[in-house]
Amino acid sequence: MKRRLIGSAAIAVALALGAALPASPAFAQPALSGDQLATKAGPLVIHPVNHASFVMSWNGKVVYVDPVGGADRYAGLPRPDLILITDIHADHMDAPTLAALKGPKTSIVAPAAVRAALPADLQPAVHALANGETTTAEGIRIEAIAMYNTTPERAKFHTKGRGDGYVLTLGGKRIYIAGDTEPTPEMLALKAIDVAFIPMNLPFTMTPQQAAEAVRAFKPKVVYPYHSRGSDVGEFARLVGTDAGVEVRLRPWY
């Protein structure tokens, strides 16, 4: 009893003197570093992780896109409030990584095919979104955009309706995450895109030439080539050029 009183007194003294008690590691939320884009509700921060995976923070919320590769890959990054998954392939969907990163209040948005492929204990956390549908999560408007192959010999890799690209609207800015796709009518019809993430790797998505032609057609203000293992992103930047009003950002995805 005496020891308990002494311990309580010590805590009271520490609080009275303004001393900080040790923080619980479970609640640590480090700041995200990366490129910044000004929005009406503060900066959007973009942090590439690897291949198709990246993390964004905005207005106190943290968004993970296609987290795979184990939780250690995300060590030192803030935990997600929202996770977006584009497809069922292993470089986009990884159940053990999701289980390790997901918190009790984390929202997950994904295609129905992804939800069906996940273990039963993860499925209730997933809001399935079909191409053309919209939802709002963590204050972010999310529109699912069709992503698929249009070249006949590549059609087997990504069929229309299975996966989702996304357009996020946050703080008045529109962010397009293409997922695994070739140039599609849905992509080329996009308007007023502030930032686009565009894939280019064969045989699964498209060539740098296809990607550059698409970007020059729908003209996002900023484009990040990602999901580009083995592709010449420098050639993509050259083909986009400087006359279309598009800024190409090459970042260390690998």
The HSE-up count of residue 223 (CA atoms within 13 Å, CB side) is 32
Q: What is the per-residue burial (b if ≥16 Cβ within 10 Å, else e) of 197-216?
A: bbbbbeebbbbbebbbebbe
pLDDT below 50 — which residues of the chain? 1-27
Compute the distance between CA of residue 146 and CA of residue 162 in angstroms, rounded to an integer. 8
Place of tokens 């053309």: 132
pLDDT at position 233 is: 98
Quick check: 207 and 181 in contact, CB under 8 A?
no
pLDDT at position 24 is: 30
Quick check: 251 and 233 in contact, CB under 8 A?
no
Q: What is the DSSP letter of 116?
A: H
Do the strands 42-50 and 35-39 form a parallel or antiparallel pair, or are they unpaired?
A: antiparallel
The pTM for the full model equals 0.88
Average pLDDT, whole number, for the chain? Answer: 90
Instruction: Tell which residue, 251, 190, 186, has the closest CA to residue 224.
Output: 251
Place of tokens 């005496």: 2
With both helix axes pointing from N to C terminus, report the angle between 208-218 and 233-240 in degrees, rounded to the nearest 10: 30
Query: pLDDT, tens digit, for every residue of 203-238?
Result: 999 999 999 999 999 999 999 999 999 999 999 999
* Position 55, amino acid: V
Q: Which two tokens stand for residue 188?
A: 């080329």
Q: Which two tokens stand for residue 247?
A: 């800024």
| DSSP H or E run through 49 | strand 42-50
Sheet holding 107-110, edge to edge: 35-39, 42-50, 53-58, 61-65, 82-84, 107-110, 126-128
- Give me the domains of the chain, ranges plus CATH numbers: 29-248 (3.60.15.10)
pLDDT at position 31 is: 84
Quick check: 250 and 233 in contact, CB under 8 A?
yes
